[in-house]
Amino acid sequence: MPTGFALALSGCYVMQAATGQLGVMAGSRPIASVVADPATPEATRRQLELAVRAREFAVRELGLPDGGSYRKYVDIGREYVVWNVVATPEFSLRPLRWCFPFAGCVSYRGYFHEADANAYAWKLVASGDDAVVEGVGAYSTLGHLADPLMSTMIGWRETRLVGTIFHELAHQRLYVAGDSGFNEAFAGVVEDAGVRRWLESRGTAREIAAYESSRRRHAEFLALLRDTATSLERLYSGTLPAADKRVEKNRVFGRLKFTYEGLRQEWGGYRGYDGWFGRPLDNANLASVATYRDCVPGLERELALAGSLPAFYARASALSRMTPEARHAAVCGAPRGHGR
């Protein structure tokens, strides 16, 4: 591709991102005024009040930043605020990466219009890559802007809403440009620790048990994906011809769906992951989840060793100053490739 054309495409992408972000910010209103507005539905009012308490808890109990985020509310008017495109080569689980100002290099591209995300994903597929489009209900600008609470979050259950606020504020607490795996794992560990403390201070025994049950299911879901990833990595590193690899790749994903059916029965028929398994699956689906989970066990160990969140933040900050190879060797199991 000619360099000038590549720069034009990059410019178009950045322009749509900037325009979408400006639309979000322009439509936001102070939460207090939305709560006081008689036209605000009661369910929305209750969720906004919950979000205010969660934000206060995050600052007071979790040591997260007390900046401008989550002081305003915006009605997005759609199911998701942004759609992320994640992609991999046909015979690899390493996500492709794109580099941008402030965020550094990340393993996704976000679009404010679903059609744009789908169009870009189709281009990647046409070039031979695997790609998936994921709807996202919330995101962080890392403190560069005052992120509002979004209508896409209002219908969520309490632990998801509260946990998302903790997660996104954690990104403002620590963010390493170019290391999506570490960043997402750090925010995820803070989120989980925060939700547990939130429930211990406010929840009932039943709510705590329900949260623990959901965490166990999610751990089993991730273990299933890790087993599948191991099978695929073994396949891709082998010497089979490409045509035979494609056949076996389809079989591996078929086994994944079959195994999930058995796991769902063990869960008493729980159907919370049916949407994930109900679509065509490829490497990009696995890479999308792996980005958020590869470094979690190591950072959970760091939290246990630290004994407190402030000490954990200090340990994570020290990790952030390491080279990417040393950091991933320390908490992510092994250095990870960057894709292309």
Q: Which 3 state secondary structure label does DSSP give 43?
A: helix
310 Cβ partners below 8 Å, 6+ apart? 63
For residue 64, give every residue at least 6 positions away whose Cβ sits within 8 Å of its Cβ, in sequence order, or none: 58, 166, 169, 170, 172, 173, 190
Per-block average pLDDT, block size 10, for the chain (340 residues)? Answer: 37 79 91 97 97 98 96 95 95 89 77 95 97 92 90 95 97 91 94 96 89 94 93 97 98 97 94 94 89 84 97 97 94 56
- Collect all residues with Cβ–Cβ distance below 8 Å to 124 and sequence separation of at least 6: 85, 87, 96, 130, 131
The three-class DSSP label of residue 340 is coil
pLDDT at position 177: 86
How far apart are the C-alpha atoms of 179 and 103, rounded to whole Å? Answer: 9
pTM over 0.75: yes
Q: Return d(Cα 146, Cα 159) in angstroms, integer.
A: 23
